[in-house]
Structure 1
Amino acid sequence: MHNASYHGIPRVDDRRIVSGIIFVIRNGLRWRDAPTGYGRHKTIYKRFIRWSRLGVFNKIFAALAGKGGRPDQLMIDATHLKAHRTAASLLKKGLFPRRIGRTKGGLNSKLHAVCDGKGRPLVVALSEGQMSDYKGAALMLDALPRAKTLLGDRGYDADWFRAALADRKIAACIPSRANRRVPIPHDAVLYRQRHKIEIMFGRLKDWRRIYTRYDRCAHTFFSAICLAATVIFWL
C-alpha cells in the first residue's frame, strides 16, 4: 500500500479506502452505495479486489493472530454462510473453485475456524457447504498452533483426527459419536467453554456481507472474512 499520485491525480489515501471497505462489508452495502466520503466507489472496489488477489487481508490476519501468544486451549467448529443469488448465479466450474455447495438449507459456503481460549480466531478456512466438519479440520490441521487441549463437538469425533492431535501432543476434548461401541470419555466441565467459538461466529455474522455471501469469487469473500476477524478480534 502506498499513496503516490498517478498521472498528476492524487492517490486516495489507503487508510481511507480501507475504512470504506470495512463500512461496506460491515453494513452489507453494494459497492456503489459506499459513502462518497471514502472516495469513489469504483476505487474502493478495485483496491479491495486487487488486495484480495494479493492475499493482503489474509496475511494481515495471520500475522496479528500469530502474535497472540501460545494458547493453552483451542476450540474448533464450523458454520454455514448463505450464498445470495448474485454469488450463486455463476456456479459453473472454472479455474478457481467458488466454494459454494448445496445443503438442505440451499446454496451456501462453510466457514471452518479454530480459536483460542478467549474466543479469538487463529485459523480460518472456507469450503463448500456440504463438506463435513472433520474434513474441514483436515484443511486446518497443519496450521494448528501448539496447545494443551482442543475442544470440539462430536462432528470431529474421528479416529484419524484424534490420532493427529495426539501426535501434536494436544489432548482432545471431543464427545463420542452415538455409533461408537466404546465411548471415549471427555471433560464435560471443560467442554462447556466451547460456547466461546459460537459467540465468535455470531460476532463475525454481525457483518452483513459475512452473514450473507454476495461475492462470486471465493478469494474476495475469504478476504472479507479475514478483514472482519482482524478488526473485531485483533485490533
Structure 2
Amino acid sequence: MMSIKRYELTDVQWNQIKNLFPEYHTGRPPKSNRIMFNAVLWIARSGAAWRDLPKERYGSWKTVYSRFCLWRDTGLLESLFITLNYEADYENLSIDSTVVTAHQQSAGAKKGGLNSVISQHIGKSSGGHTTKIHVIVDGLGNPLYFQLSGGNLHDSVLAIEVLQHVEIQGSNVIGDRAYGSLDIRTYVTNHDATYTIPPKKNTKEPWTVDWWLYKERHLVECFFNKLKHFRHIATRYDKLATSYLAFVYIAAIFLLTK
C-alpha cells in the first residue's frame, strides 16, 4: 500500500497492469514501475515540463524521462493499451478526430529521424500549427485505436487507413458527414459491416440514416473530452510524434483502468 496523491493510479488501477511490465535491470536499485508510471502520469495530467516534476515524490526527472523513453521505444505503452481492450464492444464503432494546438516548443525536431518527412505530424493551416488525433471508440466509448496526422488533413483522407487497424466485420461504423465519401462507405460494406453516416447537404443521391442510432456518436465526443483533461495532450509540447502518441496511450491506459 502507498499513499495516493492527485494524478496517480489507485491500487485497483495499478493491480490491472502491474504484471504487464517487464523487469527493469540496472546497476543500482531501480525505482518501481508504479512510481515511474505515476510520474509520467503527473506530467500528462499537469502539462508541466519534465524539469518541474516533484523530485521529493518521484526522484530525478531524468530517471523518469529515461524510463518513459524506454516504454515508448519498446512499444510497451501501446501493448498495455491493447491488452486492456480484451473485452471491447464491437457492435457500434465510432470514428472521429480532434485537433490540438502545437505549442512553439514542439518545433525543432531533428531532421532525418522517424516521422521527420511528415513534419512529426504537425500541420500548418489558418488555425496555426496543429496535430490531429484520429480515434475509433467501441460501443462503450473506450478507445480501440489511435493515429496522428497533421491538423490540416481532412478526416476522410485517413479514414480507411484508420479503419484498417480495427476488425469491423459485423460492426456498425458511426461517423459524421466528413466520413460520407463513396470510398469510405464502400470499404465498410465490403468488409461485411454497416454504417451510420449522414450525407452532406449537397449530396445528389442522399441515403437514409438511423438518426436515433447516430446519437451513439456522442461516445467519441465524450472520450475526447476526457482525453483533453490531460493538459499535456490538450496542447502538444512534444517535438517527436512518437512521444506525443505515447502520452495519448498513457491517458488511455488511465481511463481504461478506472
* TM norm. shorter chain > 0.5: yes
User: 2:39 pairs with 9, 20, 33, which one?
Assistant: 20
| Equivalent pairs, count | 231
Residue of 199, 206, 210 corresponding to 1:176: 199
Question: Equivalent pairs: percent with the same residue?
Answer: 31
Bigger Cα displacement from structure 2, 189-198 vs 140-149 = 140-149
Residue range with higher mean Cα deviation, 135-144 or 187-196:
135-144
Question: Is the 1:17–1:39 contact (alpha carbons within 8 Å) kept by the matching residues of 2?
Answer: no
5 Å-filtered alignment, 1:30-45, equals 30-36=49-55, 37-45=57-65
Q: Which residue of 2 aligns with 1:96?
A: 114
Give the AA of the match of 1:90: G
Contact 1:75 1:194 in 2 (8 A): yes
Q: Is the 8 A contact 1:204 1:229 kept in 2?
A: yes
Match of 2:207, SS state, is coil
What does residue 155 of structure 2 align with?
Answer: 133
Q: Tell me, in whole angstroms, the C-alpha distance in 1 between the residues paired with 2:109 and 2:125.
A: 14
Alpha carbons 1:73, 1:148 under 8 Å: kept: yes
**Partner in structure 2 of residue 58 of structure 1:** 78
Counterpart-to-counterpart distance in 2, 1:227 and 1:57: 7
Q: Report the counterpart of residue 130 of structure 2 in structure 1.
A: 108
- Output the CA distance in 2 between the equivalents of 1:171 and 1:120: 20
Match status 1:73 vs 2:96: no
Assess if the C-alpha contact under 8 Å between 2:185 and 2:195 holds in 1: yes
Give, in whole Å, the separation in 1 of the partners of 2:216 and 2:68.
36
Shift of 1:94: 2.9
Q: Name the amino acid aligned to 2:32.
A: D
Return the TM-score normalized by structure 1.
0.93
Q: Distance in 2 between matches of 1:132 and 1:68?
A: 31
Work out whether residues 125 and 139 of structure 1, in 8 Å CA contact, stay in contact via their aligned partners in 2. Answer: no
Given residue 224 of structure 2, which amino acid in structure 1 is its aligned partner? Answer: F
* Amino acid across the alignment from 1:80: V
2:174 is the alignment partner of 1:151: yes
Rounded to whole Å, the distance in 1 between the matches of 2:187 and 2:210 is 19
Counterpart CA distance in 1 for 2:157 and 2:166 is: 15
Q: Distance in 2 between matches of 1:103 and 1:40?
A: 38
Displacement, 1:104?
2.0
Shift of 1:183: 0.7
Q: Is residue 122 of structure 1 aligned with residue 106 of structure 2?
A: no
Equivalence for 1:192: 215
Give the whole-Å Cα distance in 1 for the aligned partners of 2:236 and 2:230: 11
TM-score by length of 2: 0.85
> Displacement of 1:164 after TM fit?
0.8
Q: Which runs of 5+ in 1 are unaligned?
A: none
CA distance in 2, matches of 1:201, 1:184: 28
Could you list the runs of 5+ residues in structure 2 that have no partner in the other structure? 1-21
Tell me the equivalent position of 1:232: 255
Secondary structure of 1:11's counterpart equals coil
SS in 1 for 2:48: coil
